[in-house]
Amino acid sequence: MRFWFIVPAAGVGRRMGGVLPKQYLKLGEQTIIEHTLYCLRNHPAISGVVLVISPTDQYWPQLHLPEYSVPLWVAEGGVERCHSVLNGLYKLQERAADDDWVLVHDAARPCLRADDIDKLINNLQTHAVGGLLGLPVADTIKQVDESGMITKTVDRCGLWRALTPQMFRLGLLREALNNALSVGYIVTDEASAMEFQGYRPMMIEGAADNIKMTHPNDLSLVKTFLQQQGRAI
């Protein structure tokens, strides 16, 4: 049984603002994308990583990456995240089999822990469908209309936030993403595409520090979390 990573990194980071896409912001000596790859490319269970970057990306070729145990290939990004992931799957297909497991992980989540990768693999490798890391919602959830007025309090029982990695079989995920896109459904994660096919992915509780860097304030949070993990910053 083989496990591969696809890392979508072809976004522009609009909500983060600034000129530089957020995955190229520096934290210490390294960029965010390098912090993200650190965990995956040193993990003994992983056969290879496909990094998906924008066709207009000028930053990736300028990085000086150290040697890692896990090989990396680059694929071209698409208009939305789901197009980028699909391109990554096609690239991976040159080396991987349809029933190999693929873990899709956002480049913008540099605080992923090796033991969360282990947890996902250990819980799902014998599962028929696969699943993802997530966290139960802690706050009270409100539905609000366009004027800002609350229309409803949503029962948070059973509500989870979807994180990454999301782990599915290469062939089934490719089919699911293609089917969603063929009807114009732009899925924001892999599990949504699998659900659209009628599958029921498993939710596995992950670490709370696996945040997606989205807004400017997240950079200092990421720094704190990486320092707490003892990672060099």
57 binds, among ligand CTP, Mg ion, none (CB under 5 to 8 A by kind): none
**Size of interface with ligand CTP, in residues (CB under 6 A):** 22
Q: Which stretch binds ligand CTP (CB under 6 A): 13-21, 116-124, 166-174, 217-225?
A: 13-21
Cα-based angle 139, 186, 201 (whole degrees, multiple of 5):
60
Question: Can residue 9 be called a binding residue for ligand CTP (CB under 6 A)?
Answer: yes
> 134: part of which helix (H) or strand (E)?
strand 130-136
Q: Minimal distance in Å, beta carbon 204 to ligand CTP? A: 19
Report the alpha-carbon distance of residue 217 to residue 44 in Å, rounded. 33
Return the number of the residue (113 or 161) whose C-beta is nearest Mg ion: 161
C-alpha angle 225-46-121 in degrees, rounded to nearest 5? 75
Element at 72 (helix H, strand E)? strand 72-76
The CA distance from 83 to 209, in Å, is 27
Q: Given the complex with ligand CTP, which of 10 and 89 has the nearer CB atom?
A: 10
Using CB under 6 A as the criterion, which residues of the chain lie in contact with ligand CTP when the complex forms?
Answer: 8-16, 23, 52, 77-81, 84, 106-108, 212, 214
Using CB under 5 A as the criterion, which residues of the chain lie in contact with Mg ion when the complex forms?
Answer: 11
